Amino acid sequence: MDSKITEVSQMFDRFQASFMRKDYDTCDRLLSQLKVLLTEFKSLPPLFQETPNNIRELTLARHIYEYAVILSVKIEDQDAFERDFFQLKPYYTDARRLPPSAEEYPILGLNLLRLLVQNRIAEFHTELELLPPNALENPCIKHAVELEQSFMEGAYNCVLSARQTVPHETYVYFMDLLAKTVRDEIAGCSEKTYDSLSIKDARQMLLFSSDQELSEYIKEERTEWEIKNGFVFFQRSKESTPCKEIPSLQLINQTLSYARELERIV
């Protein structure tokens, strides 16, 4: 058993070294080898057998998976993140006798943020329920929760300013993705709310750094908008003329069903 542990820890040290050097390809390769070696340990989930070294093995395995999660953020692979996070979760929930890990809350917060960015709000809330009540005090978790609230309310500039206050540097990737979603949302809201906006205001709201980018965005994504005399006009659907036609098919169906039911009344 000990030899296996030493082998794994040595490989893990090499992994950490290449991680520091930002050599992500080597990291990836070493990670797959590490995962294969980890299957030999009997004390890990799902078996959870009691072996003499199980505390060391569990701590080592947990450390490896935490690094795997952070690696997946660096290489910007969301599927790998999800996989590694699911493998990491049993260590947090079931293996309670281990000393708490420093990375636990940042990683949990990271997962919440990922669910928010992917618009999986139901899963976001389910995950939130699983956290103990004092977890909400932790800055990483609090950050994610407040972000979700502001997003739901529509206070988008709160969302964007939160980017400055990330509790952990790994959050930056998801915040950038979130910024893009926010921009689409703002654009969608603006076209319903405003008749027209000056180019300066539009640029400010949609967070473009130059008029050029703004006009490109409009050309590609929002073709109904028009730029005239330094103003952006949002073409809204002609709601001024109320619909004069009667939804005849629906009315006919309804009336027929009334007649049928009334006939049935003895």
Residues that bind another protein (CB under 8 A): 121-123, 125-126, 128-130, 133, 145, 149, 152-158, 161, 185-186, 188-190, 192-195, 197-198, 201, 242, 247, 251, 254, 257-258, 261, 264-265
Q: Minimum distance between the CB of residue 261 and another protein, rounded to whole angstroms? A: 5
Nearer Cβ to another protein (155/172)? 155
What tokens were used for 146? 């407040």
CA of residue 128 relative to chain centroid, distance:
13
Q: Which residues contact 78 (CB under 8 A, 6 or more apart)?
A: 72, 114, 118
Secondary structure of residue 114 in the 3-state scheme:
helix
Q: What's 228's DSSP letter?
A: E
Q: Minimum distance between the CB of residue 168 and another protein, rounded to whole angstroms? A: 22
Q: What's the CA gap between 176 and 164, in Å, rounded?
A: 11
Q: Minimum distance between the CB of residue 196 and another protein, rounded to whole angstroms? A: 9
Q: How many residues does the chain have?
A: 266
Q: Minimum distance between the CB of residue 239 and another protein, rounded to whole angstroms? A: 10
Phi-psi region of 50 (alpha: psi -120 to 50; beta: other; left: phi over 0): beta
Nearer Cβ to another protein (70/178)? 178
User: Of 237, 217, 238, nearest to 227 (Cα)?
Assistant: 217
**Burial environment of residue 265 by CB neighbours within 10 A (0 to 12, 13 to 18, 19 or more):** exposed
Q: Minimum distance between the CB of residue 149 and another protein, rounded to whole angstroms? A: 7
Q: Minimum distance between the CB of residue 122 and another protein, rounded to whole angstroms? A: 5
Nearer Cβ to another protein (53/138)? 138
Nearer Cβ to another protein (149/212)? 149
Nearer Cβ to another protein (77/185)? 185
Q: Minimum distance between the CB of residue 26 and another protein, rounded to whole angstroms? A: 36
Distances (CA, A) of 195 to 10, 46, 173, 231: 64, 59, 35, 10
User: Of 161, 112, 172, 176, nearest to 138 (Cα)?
Assistant: 112
CA of residue 220 relative to chain centroid, distance:
25
Q: What's the CA gap between 126 and 130, in Å, rounded?
A: 7
Q: Minimum distance between the CB of residue 199 and another protein, rounded to whole angstroms? A: 12
Nearer Cβ to another protein (160/177)? 160
Nearer Cβ to another protein (33/198)? 198
User: Of 127, 92, 98, 93, nearest to 113 (Cα)?
Assistant: 127
Nearer Cβ to another protein (33/157)? 157
What tokens were used for 208? 């473009």
